Amino acid sequence: MAAQCFKTDVLVVGGGLAGFHAAITAREAGAKVIMVEKNYSGTSGHSTFARDMMLFHEEWGDCLQDWRDQFIHIGEYINDQEWVDILLKEGYDRFRDMVNWGMPFYLREPGTTGFPGDDHPYGNAVMSDEIGFPKPEEEPFRYRHQRTKYRKSTAIIKFGKREKLMDARKKALSIGIEIIDHVMMTELIKRDGRIAGAMGFNTRDGGVYVFECGAVVMACGSLTFKPAYFSVQCNTGDGVAMGYRAGAELTGMEFGTGMWVCKDVDSVTIDGPVAELGLTEDCFTNGKGEEFLDDTAHLPTNIHWPLEVHKGKGPLFHEPYNYDRSNFEDALKKYDETAEGPWLTMMDRAGIDIFHDRFEQYMSFIGNIWPGGLKINTKCETSVPGLYAAGDSAGSNFTGPTYGTLGSGMCHAAVTGHRAGKFAAEYVGERDSVTFTQAEIREFEQAVMGALERGYGFTTEHVLTRIQQTLFPYEVRIIMKEDRLKAALTMIEFFRDHLLPKTYASDFRDLRNYHEVRNMIVGAEVMLKTAIMRQESRGWFFREDYPRRDDENWLKWIIAQKGQDGEMTLSTQDIPMEWRGDLSLPYEERYMLQYRLEEE
Ligand SMILES: Cc1cc2nc3c(=O)[nH]c(=O)nc-3n(C[C@H](O)[C@H](O)[C@H](O)COP(=O)(O)OP(=O)(O)OC[C@H]3O[C@@H](n4cnc5c(N)ncnc54)[C@H](O)[C@@H]3O)c2cc1C
């Protein structure tokens, strides 16, 4: 089948929230825009699962300094404070965009004031039964979690329905954006050091797609490794890998995320339903029946849990909340309809009542969900001219080593998406696009389809399983140590050099798997090399062999890039002096949360 060729100004890769903001903004700025999505844009991506978005607005009484301080404390002085300010200040305008596109949000019961969290964890504001479109001056329902020493300032709005991105899709189509679904992009194309296009294939019929364009916005989400217990499987670091191969710099890649998995259900468990009711007194016990967590909630869940197991005190149990569930049935129904929902339903179906049952949980690595990605400046430009990045594909360093606050992923996706679309449209306005020759197109076809033609060798499933077995155990990427990281890297390099060249795709569907494992291997290699390099602990980044923050040597970002010789180069960039906080403070005051291994 001959390749299909398309010409556009801006190509947006990925149809999640960042992709829609980028596409709509670029189109409204006058650019011709095509959005390509490997699933179906409108129902795909992490954005589909997100239930809420952080929203700052001074006119509603929010204090900029308090919100900034929260980010900086949680980011432990290595977040990019310029990006923190941009997210806080521009989130409101992006929220208004979404309201105008027809996305509903939860409203506040008239007459209720403040926001939850003032007196009571869920305070005075009451969520209305109605969803709707708040007027500019009208504050929607916002809530905040008062669960840690740091997380106390920010507030979050709630999307009014699960299929919210379908409203964005409708808006995008109405203004002339061409949406191409079920096409996976596999490689960027450069000419004279700039982006000139991209290639991919249709996962249904195997047709090769070639795009000639002035700019690409990479909005294809995060780097995860398809854990069976995690509902979203589409984000395999394709953007990071494509950008890396095209020579773009990556940053923040050493930071990753673990998730609590309920052993009996093999599913991630989230205390969302309980937390949203303001009932947040979690109790966890170890194998000896001891309660082992203190009030430092956002550290223990990611570090102290697996550390407890690492010390030989596992397994870990979630103890019953012992609230009378029947008092909350209406609220739970609302939660189930609007939010992530599936986890509660899955637990229920498995016969585990999170209110009343004790169940075993463990922490497993997922990938690089929020931090890390293609290094961007405040125009969302990467280091390759014509390549922009947004959302989870973008390395803005807004959040540092720890997830800043609930709702910040969607705020980041919306704000970076808008900026990427705006500046990409400006950029293409100044340039002529290229036209590829037939010979070049034949080369692209070969690059996309090669694995399909191989016909025999290792299966993609085999390679995926090996990657997962290497990275998922908590002692590799959560409780880290140099020798274990190096052992894992040796495995990944082996897969790269000896398995991947002999891996074949059995059909078009499997060709997608092939390109995904290829990209995951790039992501894993960057992750492990950068994690080996950072010889300290900070936030959710924990090194057993360096269990303290090292302000003298590690107030730095790590940058990874493909060198001229094809080898990965690593370098560092200093955090500006004015962002480092008060370095004269004793360690214990500067870092309110200490790791258990530091005490011992
Ligand atoms: C379960 C879950 C719940 C969450 N809840 C919240 C929340 O309540 N609030 C919050 O703020 N954040 C939340 N987050 C984080 C938040 O969802 C993300 O930060 C945000 O959705 C990122 O948006 P995005 O557009 O960058 O990526 P995504 O929404 O993930 O979109 C990326 C899209 O790119 C597509 N794609 C990938 N590779 C390719 C390719 N090669 N070619 C073509 N298309 C490709 C994918 O199929 C996908 O549709 C949650 C995340 C998860 C996983």
CATH code for the domain of 294:
3.90.700.10
pTM here?
0.95
> Same domain for 470 and 585?
yes
CA-CA-CA-CA dihedral for 168, 174, 180, 181, to nearest 10? 40
> Same domain for 451 and 328?
no
pLDDT exceeds cutoff 60 at 123: no
> How many structural domains compose the chain?
2
Could you tell me the two tokens for 437?
């020759």
> Same domain for 494 and 361?
no
Which of 302, 335, 366 corresponds to the end of one domain?
A: 366
- pLDDT-derived band at 464 (thresholds 50, 70, 90) equals very high
269 vs 532, residue with greater confidence: 532
In a domain, 575, yes or no: yes
> Same domain for 315 and 452?
no
**What count of Cα atoms within 13 Å lies in the side-chain half-sphere of residue 486?**
4
> Which of 220, 242, 516 has most ligand 1 atoms within 8 Å of its beta carbon, as the pocket-test mutant?
220
Print burial letters for 68-79: b (CB count within 10 Å at least 16), e (below 16). bbbbbbbbbbbb
Identify the bridge partners of residue 217 per DSSP, sorted by sequence position: 12, 388
Helices (H) and strands (E) in the chain, counts: 19, 25
**pLDDT for the residue numbered 145:** 63
Summarize pLDDT for 495-531 with one digit per residue, the tens: 999 999 999 999 999 999 999 999 999 999 999 999 9
**pLDDT for the residue numbered 239:** 98
Could you tell me the two tokens for 42?
């409108």
Report the distance separating Cα 189 and Cα 211, nearest Å: 9
Any ligand 1 atom below 6 A from CB of 45? yes
Neighbours of 535 (CB within 10 A): 13
Any ligand 1 atom below 6 A from CB of 394? no
CA of 517 to the centre of ligand 1 (A): 19
**pLDDT for the residue numbered 82:** 98
Summarize pLDDT for 30-63 with one digit per residue, the tens: 999 999 999 999 999 999 888 889 999 999 888 9
User: Per the omega criterion (within 30 degrees of 0), is the bond before 320 cis?
Assistant: no
In a domain, 432, yes or no: no
CATH label of the domain that carries residue 520: 1.20.58.100
CA-CA-CA-CA dihedral for 464, 467, 472, 474, to nearest 10? 170
In a domain, 530, yes or no: yes
Which of 312, 346, 366 corresponds to the end of one domain?
A: 366
CA of 390 to the centre of ligand 1 (A): 11
Contact status, residue 56 vs residue 95, Cβ threshold 8 Å: no
429 vs 220, residue with greater confidence: 220
Contact status, residue 378 vs residue 54, Cβ threshold 8 Å: no
Could you tell me the two tokens for 298?
């956002």
Neighbours of 349 (CB within 10 A): 11
Any ligand 1 atom below 6 A from CB of 11? no
Pairing of strands 52-54, 105-108: unpaired
In a domain, 463, yes or no: yes
Give the percent of the chain with pLDDT over 90. 66
Main-chain phi, psi angles of 318, to 5 degrees: -90, 120
Strands (E), 441-531: 479-480
Max CA distance (Å), the chain: 69
> Same domain for 448 and 570?
yes
Write the CA distances from 7 to 15, 95, 212, 320, 437, integer angstroms.
Answer: 19, 31, 5, 58, 13
* Local structure of residue 391 (DSSP, 8 states): G
> Same domain for 359 and 454?
no
Burial class of residue 442 (count of CB atoms within 10 Å of its CB; 0-12, 13-18, 19+): middle
**pLDDT for the residue numbered 330:** 76
Summarize pLDDT for 383-428 with one digit per residue, the tens: 999 999 999 999 999 988 988 788 999 999 999 999 999 999 999 9
CA-CA-CA-CA dihedral for 131, 133, 134, 140, to nearest 10? 30
Report the distance separating Cα 55 and Cα 46, nearest Å: 19
> Same domain for 558 and 470?
yes
> Same domain for 460 and 570?
yes
Give 3-state DSSP helix, strand, coil % of the chain, rounded to 5. Answer: 40, 20, 40
**pLDDT for the residue numbered 197:** 97
- Secondary structure (3-state) at 525: helix
CA of 46 to the centre of ligand 1 (A): 3
> Same domain for 343 and 459?
no
Any ligand 1 atom below 6 A from CB of 415? no
pLDDT exceeds cutoff 60 at 340: no
* Local structure of residue 236 (DSSP, 8 states): B
Rg of the Cα atoms in the chain:
23
**pLDDT for the residue numbered 121:** 44
Print burial letters for 470-502: b (CB count within 10 Å at least 16), e (below 16). bbbbbebbbbbbeebbeebbebbeebbeebbee
In a domain, 344, yes or no: yes
> Same domain for 449 and 358?
no
In a domain, 431, yes or no: no
In a domain, 289, yes or no: yes
Any ligand 1 atom below 6 A from CB of 404? no
CA of 230 to the centre of ligand 1 (A): 13
Which of 318, 349, 366 corresponds to the end of one domain?
A: 366
What is the torsional sign of CA 303, 309, 311, 314?
A: positive
Could you tell me the two tokens for 72?
């900086």
> Same domain for 452 and 569?
yes
**What count of Cα atoms within 13 Å lies in the side-chain half-sphere of residue 510?**
18
Any ligand 1 atom below 6 A from CB of 80? no
> Same domain for 359 and 464?
no
In a domain, 207, yes or no: no
Closest Cα to residue 423, out of 458, 394, 446?
394
H helix intervals, 287-436:
305-310, 329-338, 342-349, 408-429
Residue nearest to atom 6 of ligand 1 (CA): 50
Q: Which structural domain range is residue 316 located in?
A: 258-366
